[in-house]
Structures are given as structure tokens and as C-alpha cells.
Amino acid sequence: MAGDAEDPNAEVQYHVELAPGDVADAVLLPGNPERVDVITDLWDEFEERAHHREYRTATGTHEGTPISVTSTGIGSPSAAIAVEELARIGVDTFVRVGSCGAIQPEMAVGDLVITSGAVRQEGTSHEYVRGDYPAVASHEVVSALVAAAERLDYDYHVGLTMSADAFYAGQGRAGFGGFEAAGSETLIEELREANVANIEMEAAAILTLANVYGLRAGAVCSVFANRVTGEFRTEGESRAAEVASLAVALLAKMDAVKREAGVTEWHAGLSI
């Protein structure tokens, strides 16, 4: 990409085709570009800003708060590109909005999982930092997502997420012709016994990059399947979108209260 090497923010970003001013400080990150419509239907108003490859972006307001959404496509490599390029144009808060498979039997299809941290089974984050570096969600984003789920009266769970690179072999499913990757027959049970809540494909990379760069990030996913009970339905997609959108509005209020109180971190002594 041609551009000013001293100021990468001066150029339209190569993949997302966005420039400074095109997006809000907080961006929701669904995988599926079609999920952008599900999200923006909840907002006060919006305008589509770009659509290049899997990266579709809209910016608007929700409950009067500026907010944007950029789809990332499937998997951590493309999600990391979105985080990289959005950060370069001023974004400081990222919330993954997606679907997942639950691996704890008490989790029902349609429930929400709010990620507190992630198992880095994907490979993208390992290109950035050593393998024992933790993928941890921002406590402020987790708090805002929990508050939003409570206010909307949606069933939710807070816990650890495993992010994989492969939808089939990497998540303990059989591949073409019945192929089974080494360890796939025990993967789900081992994760379940370690109290991991769910499996998806992007959260670990998003959280890792956000921490490396000193940014805020979190994730909320709708349970489409329970890998223990065998239940499967594409249900609850709009709930995750609604919770994430409200969480951004709550984060804006939290930031305002922090500024007024003269503190840099949100804590239980503050109220919104």
C-alpha cells in the first residue's frame, strides 16, 4: 500500500477502505456482512461507509451515542486485519458480536455468552505475541455487556471462550470423508471440564491485539448450538446485537462519569 510511512492514519486503509472520521470510537465486529443489517436496524440512524471484500462498515448512533459496525468475515486472520486498520483510524473499543457453540450443558440455544477471556487455539494471535500471553477482555466492556444483558432481561453467561481456526477439525467435528484430527474425540470434553463456556473463531485474536495495543475489547455471542446436548437452532442473533449496541452506549456514559470523577478506570464505586 502506498502512503506516508510516518502517518499511516492519513491514508484510507487498504482492506476496510476507511479513513479517519468514517467510524466512531467504538466498533462492533460481527463476522457475517449480512449481520450488519441486523445490527443497524436497532440504531437511531446509520449510513453505510464502505464495503470491500468481507469488510462492510456502517456508522450511526444508538441511544444518541456514536457507534460503528464492521464485518470481519470468518476467522481470526481477517478479524485481526479489521482491528489493525480500525485502530489506525482512531478506534479504541471493539466488541465482537457473533454466534457460537456452547459446551456446557446448562446453556440453551438463544442464550448469550459474554467472554471474559479466551483460549488461543487460533494461530493469528501467536504471530503477534508469545503463546502464554493471555487473551483477556476489558473489564469495562464485560461490565457494560453484563449491564446491557441485565437491562434487556436476556439470559446470559460470562465465561471463557475457545477460539479455533478451523470450523470442522479445529472444533472436534469430522472433516470430509469422516476425517478426524488428532485429539478431536476428546477436545470438547477437555474444554468442558476446564470450565470453558463456548467455541467460536475470532474472540481470542481480537482480545489479544486489543491488549497488545492498549485498547478495549470484548465479545458477546448468541448460542446457536450446544455441542453437549446436540441442540441446534439459529436463534438469538438480534439479542447479541442489541446487547452489544446498548453496551456501547453504556460505555460512553461510563467514560463520562470517569472523566467527571477524575479517574481512569471504571469501578464499583461509580454509577451510571
Question: Which residues are known catalytic residues?
Answer: 15, 85, 173, 227
Q: Residue with C-alpha cell 446470559?
A: 156
CA-nearest of 272, 251, 270 to 67 is 251
DSSP secondary structure, 46-68, as one string: EEEEEEETTEEEEEEEETTEEEE
CA-nearest of 218, 221, 123 to 165 is 123
**Given CA atoms 190, 161, 144, 45 in this order, what sign does their dihedral have?**
negative
Q: Residue with C-alpha cell 461510563?
A: 254
Distances in whole angstroms, Cα of residue 200 to Cα of each of 20, 145, 170: 30, 18, 10
Any idea what DSSP says for residue 232? B
- Other beta carbons less than 10 A from residue 4's beta carbon: 9
Report whether 131 contacts 120 (CB < 8 A).
yes
